[in-house]
Structure 1
Amino acid sequence: MTPELRAKLLAGLKDGSIVPYLGPGVLADVKNVATGALIPADSDSLIIAMNDGKPMAPKLMYEFPRAAMNVELKRGRTSVTKFLNRTYGETKWTRAAFHDWLQAISPAYVIDINRDTQLQASYAAIPHNLIVGIARIAGTAFRYKIFAWDGSAYQRAETIDVSKPVLFKPMGTPLPEGDYIASDADYVDFITELMGGFSIPPEVKELRKGKQYLLMGMRLNRDTERMVMADMIYSAAEPVGWVFIAEPTAKEKRYCKKIGLEIIDADIFEFIGAAVAA
C-alpha cells in the first residue's frame, strides 16, 4: 500500500465518504479473559465452538449457516440463539486493537457483520443509531430493528436520526436483544428481503448513495457473505472501494474485478499500526 492510498483511506473514513465494512478478521486478537482462547468469529471457529469444541461433519463444516441449520433442525432455533448469546453476550473478551483504532476515528456509518458487541462499546459515549438484522419474524415485511442509544441505554425507534452515527449489524448482536441471522433459513429470508429492499431502513438507503467502502477482516470466497455485501453496498460510487485480502485467491480476484473492489494485498493490522500476537 502506498502512503498516498493510506492517507486517502484514512481521510475518507474520517469524512464519511468511505464506509468501513467489518468482517471476522478484525477480531483476530480478541481472547477470552478467563481462558485465553480466541473469540470464535470466523465460520470454522464458530462451528467448532457451537459443537462443544469439536469439528462437525465435513459437509457441515463448509459454512456456519449450514451447521447452524443442522443444530436448529435437531434442537430448535433457540439452541443457536442461546449459543450466540452465551458466546457474545455473556462471555468476557479482551478489547480488539482494531476497535480501539476505529473508536479514535468514530466513522459516521459502519457496517459490521460480526455478532459481538465491541463496535457498540466503541460508541458507548456517543448517542447513536443501531440497526440489527432479523429474520423469520411474522407480522412484518421488514427485516431489521432500529434502536437509539442515548448514552446510557437503547430504546426501540421507528426512524433513524442521520445526524448521529449509524451502526448497522445485519447479522445481529446480543445487545439490547439477542437477534441473529445465523442458519441457512435465516439467511434465505434475510437476503430475499434484502434484495427486495426490506432489510435496510429508508434513511440508510439515502445515506449510502455514492459512498465507497473499505472491507476489512473478511475474505470474499463465500457466496453467502458476498450476496449480503453486494446488496448492503448498493448505490455505491464507482469504483466501489477497497478490500484487504492477504494472498487473494483467483476466485476473489475475479469477483473483486467484477464488482469494482480494489484488492489491497496486505494485513489490516499493518494498516492500523497494531501488532497481533500469533
Structure 2
Amino acid sequence: MTARLNSDHLSVCRDHHAERQLHLLKEALVADELIPYLGPGLLQLSSAAPPVPDRPAAVAAALNKRATVSSKIRSNMWSVAQFIEQRRHRRTLQAWMAEIFAPSVPPTALHLWLATLPLSLIIDSWYDGTMRAAIAAKGRTDVVEIQGITRANEKAHIWTKTYDLSGRELGPGPVARTVLYAPHGSVRPAANFLVSDSDYVEVLTEIDIQTPIPERVKERRTNRGFFFVGCRFDDQMLRIFARQIMKRSNGPHFAVIDAETMTKNERRFCAECTITLIDLSISEVAAGLVDPT
C-alpha cells in the first residue's frame, strides 16, 4: 500500500507496494532514468561498526578527540570544523579529516552493482570515496569524478575540481559516460573537504542561482529523478544541497528512510520536494536491487 501522511502530505510506500516500487526503481536505474544519491548510511551495509564515521555527528566526535570544543557545538560537525579551522589553521583541519577518512571501506554489493550500470550521473554525498573505489574495481575508463572544493585554498574563482579514476586532475571539459559528483568533496584522491561553516559561506550565497553546481550535473539531471539511499535530511545544510542538486530535474524522486524516525523538518522537506519514501530497510533495498532475478 501507499500511505499518505495527512499532516505534511508525505507519501510512503509500504508492504507489497514497496517491493513492487523497488522493482520499478531497479528498472529505472538500469535504463539510466534515475540518479542514485548516496549517503553515509550505506556504510552500515559494510559493517555494523564502519571504519570511518557514518554520520556528521560521528565526524564531530572524531574531531573532538583531536581538539576539545565547547559542549554547545560538540555534536555539530560544521561548527566543530569551523572552531578547529579558526584555532588550529585550515591545514590542520584538512589533515585531521584526511586521517579520519583514511581507512578504506570495502565497496558493498550495491556499490559494485551501481558501478556496472551506464548511469549518466551518480551523486556521492559523503567523504569516504567508496563509490569511486567500486567503479575503479570494475575497470571502468569512461568515468570522471567532480568534487566540491573549499575556497580557502584557491585563488581562482572555481567551485569544483575534476579527476579521473587514477587521481589525475583534469580540465573541466572531458566527456564521460558517467559523472560521479561528490558535492561535499572526498578523501580521495586529493583530500578535498567542504566541512566547516566558512567552507559553505560562499557556496550558499550562490547555490540558489546554481553557480556552484557543475554544468554537466545540471545537464544530466534534467530528464531524470533522484533516488536517495543512505541519506538523512535532519540538518539544514544537507537539505539545501539536496534541494539545489535536484533543482529543475523532472523527477519522480524516492528515498529510503524510516518514516517513524524522521524529524519534522525531514518530513516537511520530503513532502515539499515530492519525495516518496520506500518503507524498507537499506539492507532490504540493497538486496532487492542487486538480486539478478
Using structure 2 for the length normalisation, give the TM-score: 0.82
Residues 202 and 92 (structure 1), Cα distance of their counterparts in 2 relative to 1, 3 Å cut: closer
Instruction: State the distance in 2 between where 1:77 and 1:71 align.
Output: 8
Post-superposition offset of 1:139: 3.5
Aligned partner of 1:23 in structure 2 is 39
Aligned partner of 1:134 in structure 2 is 149
Aligned partner of 2:123 in structure 1 is 111
Is the CA contact 1:47–1:56 (under 8 Å) kept in the aligned structure 2? no
Instruction: State the distance in 2 between where 1:111 and 1:224 align.
Output: 16
**1:61-91 residue CA offsets vs partner (Å, 9 max, x unmatched):** 3421111111111111112211121122x32
1:175 aligns with 2:188: yes
Is the CA contact 1:101–1:272 (under 8 Å) kept in the aligned structure 2? no
Alignment of 1:211-226 (within 5 A): 211-226=224-239
Residues 41 and 213 (structure 1), Cα distance of their counterparts in 2 relative to 1, 3 Å cut: same
Gaps of 5+ in 1: none
Q: Select the residue among 95, 100, 113 that pairs with 1:87.
A: 100
Greater relative CO (CA pairs within 8 A, separation 6+): 2
Instruction: State the distance in 1 between where 2:263 and 2:25 align.
Output: 23
Post-superposition offset of 1:236: 1.1
Say which SS state the counterpart of residue 204 (structure 1) adopts: helix
- Report the RMSD for the aligned CA atoms in angstroms: 2.4
Post-superposition offset of 1:170: 0.9
Q: Select the residue among 190, 201, 204 that pairs with 2:217.
A: 204
Post-superposition offset of 1:4: 2.3
Q: Select the residue among 23, 38, 58 that pairs with 1:7.
A: 23
Using structure 1 for the length normalisation, give the TM-score: 0.86
Post-superposition offset of 1:100: 3.3
1:68 aligns with 2:85: no
Post-superposition offset of 1:50: 1.4
Gaps of 5+ in 2: 1-13, 289-293
Q: Select the residue among 147, 152, 163 that pairs with 1:147.
A: 163
Post-superposition offset of 1:161: 1.0
Instruction: State the distance in 1 between where 2:205 and 2:83 align.
Output: 21
Instruction: State the distance in 2 between where 1:29 and 1:54 align.
Output: 30
Q: Select the residue among 253, 264, 268 that pairs with 2:278.
A: 264
Instruction: State the distance in 1 between where 2:251 and 2:149 align.
Output: 30
Is the CA contact 1:31–1:39 (under 8 Å) kept in the aligned structure 2? no
Matched residues, number? 266
Post-superposition offset of 1:134: 1.1
Post-superposition offset of 1:178: 1.5
Instruction: State the distance in 1 between where 2:167 and 2:264 align.
Output: 46
Is the CA contact 1:113–1:171 (under 8 Å) kept in the aligned structure 2? yes
Residues 236 and 92 (structure 1), Cα distance of their counterparts in 2 relative to 1, 3 Å cut: closer
